Amino acid sequence: MMDGTVPSSLESRTRMTKKRTLTGYRPTGKLHIGHWFGNLQNMLTMQHDYDAYYFIADWHALTTHWADPSHVRESTEEMVLDWCAAGLDPEICTIYRQSDVPEVAELTLYFSMVTPKPWLERVPSYKEQREQVTDKDLGNLGFFLYPLMQAADITIVLADAVPVGEDQLPHLELTREIVRRFNNTYGEYLVEPQAIIAKEGARVPGTDGRKMSKSYGNSIYISDSPDEMRAKVMSFVTDPQRKLKTDPGDPDICPLHAVHKLFAPAEEIAEWDRCCRSADCGCVAHKRKLADDLIAYFAPFQARRAELAADPEFAWKVLAGGAAKARPITHGVVSACRELVGIDPRSALTADVEPRDPNARSQESAPSFAEDE
Ligand code: TRP
């Protein structure tokens, strides 16, 4: 509405007293312990404190994997299993798949009207990936629009808070800019989201000491078998200055300590810290203990995951239920936006359309073009 007023039946008026949170993961691989100790712990607590929306960004996966989408479906299913076994409860939060909420695509389109092209060209992840990724063609428009679609993901439920990794901050900033521009143009309606960064675990080191990341091949996955976990822990780099067991080490730069600290009791960490500095214990002993602790820590999660996976329909039922919860909201938001951008609501799309007689379908879907000519 160009006069600055907003439609009265706005979804924001009917929101519950809790603030809303949303975050999404691309279904491009398994979750590793960096995800677990970083964003996922935030998601677990936030499901209780917020009205929480957690979705699987399968369209975002297609922006980079469009030429070979063969793993998207399987990874989507795995992600739901990982999330639910970790403790996300589909009764408490809303777990859905991006492509089940097509309103996101419509909002992306409206955002494409108000977003100047240079805003997208400036996004650091876009520039970096165009330069660094050589095994995929990222010259497609979909990849260019990645941050725009992310802005729509967040805004489609009018999210207040978005738990993400540090690398996503520029995308959140861009979302805020797009929201401001939309609101300045059409009327104050959309919500500017805040990013929430996990303090602990924001940078979990991988086995080579760099940030844990699937693309570096340095990850310990939360669904790795005990043997895989042990082998990976034993391959961790440690303080490079500590060549002999008799050399004192520096726990502050040792990835073993950084990972162990995430879940072991403080007294135990203090003891490993002391004996590393004084060369009273060796790195191999520490690795063995870390492997034992990590395996024990993830055992209940893995048992729960196996239980859930026994039902091959589990993930799809969760996603169907989540879409049913999300869509009344996303439909409300997109309808309001449609009106705000100047589209008259009196159209076939919003009118009460009688359900069609399924038997009449075959005739309807075979129109004769000859008559029109
Ligand atoms: N860009 C995110 C990533 O690569 C995934 C994502 C898509 C997302 N849409 C989102 C995260 C909305 C938070 C909110 O990890």
Q: What is the 3-state secondary structure (H, E, C) of the chain?
A: CCCCCCCCCCHHHHCCCCCEEEEEECCCCCCEHHHHHHHHHHHHHHHHHCEEEEEECHHHHHHHHCCCHHHHHHHHHHHHHHHHHHCCCCCCCEEEEHHHCCHHHHHHHHHHHHCCHHHHHCCHHHHHHHHHCCCCCCCCHHHHCHHHHHHHHHHCCCCCEEEECHHHHHHHHHHHHHHHHHHHHHCCCCCCCEEEECCCCCCCECCCCCECCHHHCCCCECCCCHHHHHHHHHCCCCCCCCCCCCCCCCHHHCHHHHHHCCCCCHHHHHHHHHHHHCCCCCHHHHHHHHHHHHHHHHHHHHHHHHHHHCCCCHHHHHHHHHHHHHHHHHHHHHHHHHHHCCCCCCCCCCCCCCCCCHHHHHHHCCCCHHHHC
C-beta of 153 in contact with ligand 1 (< 6 A): yes
Q: Ligand 1 centroid vs 304 CA: distance in angstroms?
A: 26
From 345, 323, 325, select the one nearest 335 (Cα to Cα). Answer: 345
From 142, 67, 157, select the one nearest 112 (Cα to Cα). Answer: 142
Residue pair 177/119 in contact (Cβ under 8 Å)? The answer is yes
- At 28-73, the pLDDT tens digits run 888 999 999 988 999 999 999 999 999 999 999 999 999 999 999 9
- At 268-304, the pLDDT tens digits run 999 999 999 999 999 999 999 999 999 999 999 999 9
From 310, 291, 167, select the one nearest 229 (Cα to Cα). Answer: 291
Q: Ligand 1 centroid vs 150 CA: distance in angstroms?
A: 6
The HSE-up count of residue 92 (CA atoms within 13 Å, CB side) is 14
Q: Say what the pTM is.
A: 0.86
Ligand 1 mutation pick, 133, 154, 155, 171, max ligand atoms within 8 A of CB: 171
The two three-digit tokens of residue 106, written as one number: 């419509």
The number of the ligand 1 atom at minimal distance from the alpha carbon of 149 is 9
pLDDT of residue 28: 87
Distance CA 307, CA 55 (A): 22
How confident is the prediction along the chain (373 residues), in pLDDT tens digits per residue?
444 444 444 444 445 589 999 999 999 888 999 999 988 999 999 999 999 999 999 999 999 999 999 999 999 999 999 999 999 999 999 999 999 999 999 999 999 999 999 999 999 888 888 888 888 889 999 999 999 999 999 999 999 999 988 889 999 999 999 999 999 999 999 999 999 987 665 678 999 999 898 888 999 999 999 999 999 999 999 998 888 889 999 999 999 999 999 999 999 999 999 999 999 999 999 999 999 999 999 999 999 999 999 999 999 999 999 999 999 999 999 999 999 999 987 765 555 556 556 565 444 444 444 444 3
For residue 23, list its beta bridge partners.
Answer: 54
C-beta of 154 in contact with ligand 1 (< 6 A): yes
pLDDT of residue 357: 64
pLDDT of residue 291: 97
Q: What domains appear along the chain, each with residue ranges and CATH number?
A: 11-203+311-340 (3.40.50.620), 214-309 (1.10.240.10)
C-beta of 35 in contact with ligand 1 (< 6 A): no
